[in-house]
Amino acid sequence: MLAQANTTIPVAIGTTYEGRDPKLLERMLPLVDYIEVTPETIAEVHDHKLALSHDVMTELKNIEKETQIVVHGVGLSIGSHEGWSSNYFQLLDALLEQIDVAWHSEHLGYTKVDGQHLGIMLALPKTDQVLDMVCERVIKIQERYPLPFLLENIVHVIPDFPGDYSEAGFLNALVNRTGCRLILDVYNLQCDEHNHGFDISGFLNEIELTKVRELHVACGVEHNGFLLDVHSKLTRSSTIRLAQNVVRRSEGSVELLVYEFMPEAVPGLGRNAIAQELRRLRLAFGD
Ligand SMILES: [Fe+2]
């Protein structure tokens, strides 16, 4: 479906690319302003050491002049009480040495406990103690890298631990204490609404939308009634409308909207459909 009401405020369009599919990249590049790269997914193990793929880095260096690049990590585990993953910084350092990046981001969650990987990313308890810990870590990241740093809301797989803050209140405190900005994944909000009855309009009324710099849209599947945040489908119209609503209310702070999909989904979706999806988003958010 192509027809969508325009948001009136133009937003740049981006999409994920994990390398190794030059035909897909060729189709997407004329349609996007940004390519989002995840350091861990373009890494390979050589001699028992994790390092960025030389081939993928060559691909990224070749597109640097045509598009902007943003980094979106998944392995930092900023909320693990015992400390974050320093391996992530090694990959990020190596990437930033080789290509120019507009900003970098991670997820507001944790993937390990006591050094044990959970195999899933979980949302943080919204307590003062966790807020202090995360703010301290965000400030360290900002001191280490001279780039804007953004954090993204993730889905709630399990019910929330009773905390001191609402979802929006925690994010507001985080951005106001650190100066970091937010990625709002509006599909994640819809998953939380479907799975836990999350009040999206109450959240949007409370959150400081002028601190949101990037939006994510995606679509996954329902399994046993649970809406999963696997990125395997084309965006639903309701997700686009929600993103447009956020853009309208964000007073120009949203600069970029990223359509996320997993490389595993490409054969099922098809490269044509992905290109068509990016055209549809340009129309809905374009200039
Ligand atoms: Fe996302």
Comparing 62-76, 184-198, 224-238, the range with the smallest average pLDDT is 224-238
DSSP state of 279: H
Distance 117 CA to ligand 1 centre (A): 20
* 91: its two tokens: 């990959």
What Cα–Cα distance (Å) separates residue 179 from each residue in 44, 78, 111, 148?
33, 16, 24, 9
Provide the pLDDT for residue 229: 82
What spacing in Å lies between the alpha carbon of 62 and ligand 1's midpoint?
25
Q: What is the pLDDT at residue 230?
A: 84
Compute, in angstroms, the gap from residue 8 CA to the centroid of ligand 1. Answer: 23
Q: What separation in Å is there between the alpha carbon of 216 and the centre of ligand 1?
A: 5
Task: Provide the greatest CA pair distance for the chain.
Answer: 52
Average of per-residue pLDDT across 44-58:
93
**Position with higher pLDDT, 117 vs 230:** 117
- Note the pLDDT tens digit of each residue in 177-222: 999 999 999 999 999 999 999 999 999 999 999 999 999 999 988 8
Instruction: Compute, in angstroms, the gap from residue 33 CA to the centroid of ligand 1.
Output: 17
Residue 149 pLDDT greater than 50, yes or no: yes
Domains defined for the chain, CATH in brackets: 3-284 (3.20.20.150)
Dihedral pair phi/psi, residue 213, rounded to 5°: -105, -25
Ligand 1 centre and the CA of 122: distance in Å? 14
* Whether the model pTM is above 0.85: yes
The token duo for 216 is 């994510």
Q: What pLDDT score was predicted for residue 3? A: 40
Cβ neighbours of residue 28 under 8 Å, at least 6 residues apart? 15, 17, 35, 274, 275, 278
HSE-up of residue 280 (Cα within 13 Å, Cβ side)? 19
Contact 253, 220 (CB under 8 A): no
Q: Are 231 and 239 in contact (CB under 8 A)?
A: no
pLDDT at position 206 is 98
Average pLDDT on 130-143 reads: 98
Average pLDDT, the chain: 94
> 3-state DSSP call for residue 251?
coil
CA 188 to ligand 1 center in whole angstroms = 7
What is the CA(47)–ligand 1 centre distance, in A? 32
Read off the pLDDT of residues 263-273 as tens digits, 9 standing for 90 and up: 999 999 999 99
- CB neighbour class for 150 (10 Å; exposed up to 12, middle 13-18, buried from 19): buried
Q: Are 14 and 236 in contact (CB under 8 A)?
A: no
E runs forming strands in 198-267: 212-217, 222-223, 226-227, 256-259
Cβ-based neighbours of 151, under 8 Å, separated by 6 or more:
78, 105, 106, 107, 108, 138, 174, 180, 182, 183
Distance 185 CA to ligand 1 centre (A): 5
